[in-house]
Amino acid sequence: MRPALIAAACAAIGSVTGQQQLLGQESQTTKPPNIVFILTDDQDVHLQSLDYMPLVRKNLLEKGTYYDKHYCTTAVCCPARVTLFTGKAAHNTNITDVNPPYGGYPKFVKQGFNSKYLPVWLQEAGYNVYYTGKLFNAHNVDNYDSPYPAGFTSSDFLLDPFTYNYLNSSFQRNQEPPVSHEGEYVTDVMAQKAYGLLDEAVEAKKPFFLMVAPSSPHADIQNNSGSLTFDAPVSAPRHRDLFKHVKVPRTVNFNPNVPSGANWIRALDQQNTTNVDWNDHFYRQRLRSLQAVDEMVDGLFERLKSHDLLDNTYIFYSSDNGFHIGQHRMQPGKSTGCEEDINIPLIVRGPNVPINETTQLVSSHTDIAATIFSIANIPLRDDFDGLPIPLTAPAIESAISKRREHVQVEYWGFAGGEGIYDRRLHINNTFKGIRIVGEGYNLYYQIWCTNEHELYDMSKDPGQMKNLLLDDSRVDVVAGHPIERVVERLDALLMVQKSCTGEVCREPWRSLHPDGKVMTLEDAMASRYDKFYEKQVKVEWDFCHNGYVPEAEGPMFEDRGVEFRDDGFMWPDWV
């Protein structure tokens, strides 16, 4: 290990000058910027929902940068949100589900995060913090005050069990009791609250962070004394008749004639016409419900503009996780490692952020807290698993060759559809993966708790229809190298990432190659490392479990001692 070197690198990133270079800020006297963060619920990239949001296009895409390779690392609401707010992967928060015992607001509190997350840190740094919308699952009309979420100057939370009840929401302001909004459209109620909070923030004349987290386009859920009924999302009445002829994009992986994927996904039957037609309806309802979000975004921009705040405010738009409808024959839902579920929207607009640009730089929700720290000029925490996302043209340009080019994906539990058909819960939906995008490769590698392996070449097979590790679709060469050599590297990287914390997560290749000579998959592919990677202990599960219990997780990198690290010794090429 070279702790001194790593510490020096981190210090440079954490220093004022480092952060200001990242943001293109010229001097320390700049007034701290404001931050507005819009976080939707279950919004996809790959079903093209952003194409139906003209006001997001006008205000954000055309005025900011779109991060095409942004990922959530755990594709379900509560774990994804906790990762976003703490800068830690789910295996370090142990918030791995939406409800107790493995997740939800009570577990968040129990794990001690109510005093160690973004709102609290921003307040400590002198920011006023405002929030309206959904915070976490299982934050409800009974437990909202035990304790109150910490870190908010003013808040108005959307509470369970009414979070997905589009026409009977329950909001809870500051320390007041919940108020029911029967018959009002939830996003319109929230928009008024968001505008009010923005006015409060302006009035207070302090730098502020405002987060608005609509429940759209999540499925509608009604909780009738404990029995949950799922239905398509509901739109505001004024948007009811839009998009009558729109259907889920018929990509190659849409309800395919042949099974795909592995485990429970491979066992799914093809959907019949009744089911597909209903799923198209579900899709249209998502787009219709997003129209009120689109309008709210425009409303926020109008107000930012009228308060003359646009020059000193960063505006983020993202979703907690992605969504699939019919891909690989799956019912509407998330919770898998498929690209539709993990690749999510991220748009940033703000001072020095390139205008009307798209970048292929890889980033994840693990990086969001660190990014906001950079903007607010707060020294980065050493226990962050993520790194600030570069926000200026030069920073993006130089990061392309230096920054981590992969994200680690992880999941524990079951998967369930959110439509009206096939409401089975699929157990054994526990897995770990690596999504990696670099010069000459674009791959996804996943290992299920059943020890089934998948590898997809996303440049040739973006729909993930050909698992290259299955006998009938196996290839010898992937990304220009023998497939087993590539898998050995990805497996070793996953072994490090699956239990990493802090700096090991930020620079996982250094744990394998402490001399710093390997920073990318391409570096690791050098043939002199073939023997080294061949002998690495492989990722393997002991059994499937619904939560993160170490007994289930097989060998861990930390357990294995120094012989599994490359200490700079070079195998001669002829070995």
Ligand X SMILES: *[C@@H]1O[C@H](CO)[C@@H](O)[C@H](O)[C@H]1NC(C)=O
- CA distances in angstroms from 548 to 95, 136, 334, 434, listed in the order given: 9, 19, 19, 18
289 touches 235 (CB < 8 A) = yes
- CA distances in angstroms from 144 to 140, 150, 179, listed in the order given: 6, 11, 12
Helices in 307-347 by DSSP H: which ranges?
339-342
Q: Which of residues 446-465 bind ligand X (CB under 6 A)?
A: 449-450
77 is catalytic: yes
Q: Hey, CA dihedral for 524, 530, 535, 539, is it positive or negative? A: positive
Please, which residues bridge with residue 328 across strands?
A: none
Q: Which of residues 465-504 bind ligand X (CB under 6 A)?
A: none
Binding region for ligand X (CB under 6 A) out of 37-45, 126-134, 544-552, 567-575: 544-552
Of 123, 223, 251, 352, the residue at the interface with ligand X (CB under 6 A) is 223
> Helix/strand/coil (H, E, C) string of 485-506?
HHHHHHHHHHHHHCCCCHHHHH
Q: Which of residues 78-137 bind ligand X (CB under 6 A)?
A: 94, 101-102
> Does the footprint of ligand X cover residue 270 (CB under 6 A)?
no
Closest separation in Å from C-beta 162 to ligand X: 6
> Does the footprint of ligand X cover residue 180 (CB under 6 A)?
yes
202 touches 306 (CB < 8 A) = no
If the CB atoms of residues 123 and 450 are measured against ligand X, the closer one turns out to be: 450
How much helix, strand and coil, in percent to the nearest 5, is found in the chain? Answer: 35, 20, 45
Binding region for ligand X (CB under 6 A) out of 223-231, 239-247, 502-510, 567-575: 223-231
- Give which of 442, 445, 570 is closest to 517, Cα–Cα: 570
Q: To which H or E segment does residue 406 belong?
A: strand 406-411
- CA distances in angstroms from 141 to 113, 137, 180, 212, listed in the order given: 20, 12, 10, 19
Q: What does the alpha-carbon distance between residue 434 and residue 258 come to, in Å, rounded to a whole number?
A: 25
- Give which of 138, 124, 92, 127 is closest to 111, Cα–Cα: 92
> Does the footprint of ligand X cover residue 182 (CB under 6 A)?
yes
491 touches 534 (CB < 8 A) = no
Number of residues that bind ligand X (CB under 6 A): 30
490 touches 436 (CB < 8 A) = yes
C-alpha R_g of the chain: 23
Closest separation in Å from C-beta 205 to ligand X: 33
Q: What does the alpha-carbon distance between residue 329 and residue 275 come to, in Å, rounded to a whole number?
A: 10
- Give which of 133, 152, 144, 25 is closest to 77, Cα–Cα: 133
Binding region for ligand X (CB under 6 A) out of 65-73, 218-226, 233-241, 403-411: 218-226
Of 428, 464, 497, 536, the residue at the interface with ligand X (CB under 6 A) is 428
Catalytic, out of 10, 72, 77, 544: 77
Closest separation in Å from C-beta 145 to ligand X: 16
Closest separation in Å from C-beta 567 to ligand X: 29
Q: Which of residues 147-166 bind ligand X (CB under 6 A)?
A: 160-162
Two tokens, residue 525:
């592919």
Closest separation in Å from C-beta 357 to ligand X: 8
Of 249, 256, 547, 555, the residue at the interface with ligand X (CB under 6 A) is 547
- CA distances in angstroms from 368 to 304, 316, 429, listed in the order given: 22, 10, 26
Closest separation in Å from C-beta 407 to ligand X: 21
> Does the footprint of ligand X cover residue 543 (CB under 6 A)?
yes
> Does the footprint of ligand X cover residue 414 (CB under 6 A)?
no
Binding region for ligand X (CB under 6 A) out of 144-152, 289-297, 487-495, 545-553: 545-553
Question: Which residue carries 């329950």 as its tokens?
Answer: 170
> Does the footprint of ligand X cover residue 275 (CB under 6 A)?
yes
If the CB atoms of residues 64 and 214 are measured against ligand X, the closer one turns out to be: 64
If the CB atoms of residues 29 and 274 are measured against ligand X, the closer one turns out to be: 274
Closest separation in Å from C-beta 174 to ligand X: 18
Binding region for ligand X (CB under 6 A) out of 312-320, 419-427, 436-444, 496-504: 419-427
Of 422, 461, 522, 523, the residue at the interface with ligand X (CB under 6 A) is 422
Closest separation in Å from C-beta 206 to ligand X: 33
> Does the footprint of ligand X cover residue 418 (CB under 6 A)?
no
Q: What does the alpha-carbon distance between residue 269 and residue 404 come to, in Å, rounded to a whole number?
A: 38
Closest separation in Å from C-beta 33 to ligand X: 23
Of 548, 554, 557, 564, the residue at the interface with ligand X (CB under 6 A) is 548
Q: Which residue ranges make up the site for ligand X (CB under 6 A)?
A: 62, 94, 101-102, 160-162, 168, 170, 180, 182, 223, 225-226, 272, 274-275, 356, 421-422, 427-428, 449-450, 543-544, 547-550
Catalytic residue positions? 77
